[in-house]
């Protein structure tokens, strides 16, 4: 019987690595295309490029797309900007955003709700089914709702299987079988870039002087352009260059199709990779240096070894507090030393609690990938990197551990089965979310 599938998504990563494999899987399981209409509704995302709707419209499996600027009226009233019609039966499938969205949209449309979840689940009472990355999420769910959970695997692993261009990326970067490629992910927001760019510049110069055969690449976040990155790589505009003793760097933009790159005074070259997603490049890195955040989840999905850098020089130098503490540390004379003391106590608290920051570590509840927290220096980090390069078996063990933390591939097909079961169940007036586990 004919049904609608409404996919809720938000950022560029979700559109390319989650939505694409799922819509392909849905179409592959429904022989008569007239019986399945796929609509993609985008919600606002701080990391959005503005091209998400355009990308989704290019997928032949998708029938219609609503851009993020029309989301809030849709969430409140269930009406789209183009006044879409809706079939009697359907499923709202969550592939990015806030997990409350499918609950609200499902109520508006009278549809069943399915959430795909990697790290956590919410609203278990009101959601009809969850397709989750691995068994741990099932075990963490309230016992009375666990029958709603089905382990489908890792959607991001499916997304990387659909990517092409590794050979082209290797050619552009001049990679050979003997090349050691390191990825640098300084982040996309001001707070991270202020420290991240000069620290990474200092680290790569330190490594290049000792391993000149290593190549470096920055996969540029879709929300950042090269001119913005250069402001953080410029000692005249970023005082943290002096803190990290970072080298000066010049942006080289070749006239032909070659990649732009930074060149330090020591001759170190750092290439910029601006295609998104950048998995064609990051998947070929022997090691990545990254900040905390979604980067760690994406690298984990690709099983790329990483070191997570959390420098604290800026935290000690800045007034990062709000409310009463913010007023106190702003006082003349006593404010600055109090601010430094409070920040140091806060850092000591984090260290004592052994808090984990990287997503693979949070998930495994142990340090699968190293996290370096504190007043980091180029030598300290560089020596750790060189030790890994001298002991590739350690990088291989890290890669193996990351593969164990993430879910299995094949998630798109299983998630599509879970969604389409609702159509069959509505026709039969019965549903067993555990059927998928028994038959797959």
DSSP class per residue in 215-276:
EEEEE--TT--HHHHHHHS-TTT-THHHHHTPPPEEEE--SSSSPPEEEETT--EEEEE-SS
pTM above 0.75, yes or no: no
Q: Which two tokens stand for residue 344?
A: 């140091």
Q: How far apart are the first and last CA of the chain?
A: 23
Looking at the domain covering 3-154+408-439, what would its CATH class be? alpha beta
Residue 248 · residue 186 · CB < 8 Å: no
pLDDT value, residue 397? 96
Residues of the chain with pLDDT under 50: 162, 316-320, 322, 429-431, 435-440
- Can you tell me whether residue 357 is helix, strand or coil? coil
List, edge to edge, every strand of the sheet that includes 64-66. Answer: 64-66, 36-42, 3-9, 90-94, 112-117, 129-132, 149-151
What pLDDT, on a 0 to 100 scale, did the predictor assign at position 439?
Answer: 40
Q: Are 309 and 289 in contact (CB under 8 A)?
A: yes
Determine the pLDDT at residue 45: 87
- For the chain, give every residue range classified as CATH 3.40.50.2000: 3-154+408-439, 166-311+378-405
Compute the distance between CA of residue 267 and CA of residue 248 in angstroms, rounded to an integer: 10
Q: Are 95 and 8 in contact (CB under 8 A)?
A: yes
Out of 3.80.30.20, 3.90.1150.10, 3.40.50.2000, 2.60.40.10, the CATH code matching 166-311+378-405 is 3.40.50.2000
- Residue range 245-297, pLDDT digits in tens: 999 999 999 877 689 999 999 999 999 998 877 888 999 999 999 998 878 98
Identify which of 52, 48, 68, 67 has the alpha carbon closest to the alpha carbon of residue 20: 52
pLDDT value for 371: 94
Q: Which residues contact 414 (CB under 8 A, 6 or more apart)?
A: 131, 150, 152, 153, 436, 440
| Per-residue pLDDT at 431 | 46
């Amino acid at each position: 019987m004919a049904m609608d599938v409404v996919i809720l998504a938000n950022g560029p990563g979700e559109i390319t690595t989650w939505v694409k494999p799922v819509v392909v899987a849905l179409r592959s399981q429904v022989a008569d295309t007239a019986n399945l209409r796929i609509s993609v509704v985008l919600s606002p995302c701080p990391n959005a490029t503005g091209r998400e709707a355009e990308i989704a419209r290019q997928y032949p499996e998708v029938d219609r797309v609503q851009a993020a600027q029309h989301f809030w009226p849709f969430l409140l009233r269930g009406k789209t900007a183009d006044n879409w019609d809706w079939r009697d039966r359907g499923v709202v499938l969550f592939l990015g955003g806030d997990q409350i969205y499918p609950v609200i949209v499902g109520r508006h449309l009278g549809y069943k709700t399915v959430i795909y979840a990697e790290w956590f689940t919410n609203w278990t009472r009101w959601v009809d089914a969850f397709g989750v990355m691995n068994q741990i999420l099932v075990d963490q769910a309230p016992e009375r709702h666990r029958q709603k959970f089905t382990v489908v695997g890792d959607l991001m692993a499916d997304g990387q299987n659909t990517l092409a261009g590794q050979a082209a990326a290797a050619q552009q970067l001049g990679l050979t079988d003997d090349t050691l490629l390191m990825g640098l992910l300084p982040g996309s927001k001001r707070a991270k870039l202020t420290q991240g760019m000069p620290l990474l510049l200092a680290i790569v110069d330190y490594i290049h002087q000792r391993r000149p055969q290593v190549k470096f690449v920055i996969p540029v976040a879709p929300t950042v352009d090269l001119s913005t990155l250069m402001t953080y790589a410029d000692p005249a505009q970023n005082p943290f260059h002096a803190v990290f003793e970072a080298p000066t760097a010049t942006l080289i933009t070749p006239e032909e199709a070659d990649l732009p790159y930074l060149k330090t005074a020591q001759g170190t070259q750092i290439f910029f990779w601006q295609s998104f997603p950048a998995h064609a490049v990051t998947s070929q890195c022997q090691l990545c240096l990254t900040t905390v955040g979604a980067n760690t989840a994406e690298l984990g999905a690709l099983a790329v070894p990483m070191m997570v850098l959390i420098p604290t020089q800026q935290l000690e130098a800045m007034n990062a507090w709000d409310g009463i503490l913010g007023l106190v540390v702003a006082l003349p004379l006593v404010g600055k030393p109090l601010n430094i003391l409070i920040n140091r106590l806060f850092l000591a608290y984090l260290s004592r609690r052994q808090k984990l920051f990287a997503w693979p570590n949070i998930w495994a509840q142990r340090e699968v990938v190293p996290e370096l927290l504190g007043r980091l220096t180029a030598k300290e980090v560089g020596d750790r990197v060189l030790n890994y390069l001298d002991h590739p078996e350690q990088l291989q063990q890290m890669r193996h551990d990351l593969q164990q933390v993430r879910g299995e591939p094949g998630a798109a097909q299983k998630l599509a089965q879970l969604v389409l079961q609702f159509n069959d169940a509505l026709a039969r007036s019965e549903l067993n979310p555990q059927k998928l586990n028994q038959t797959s």
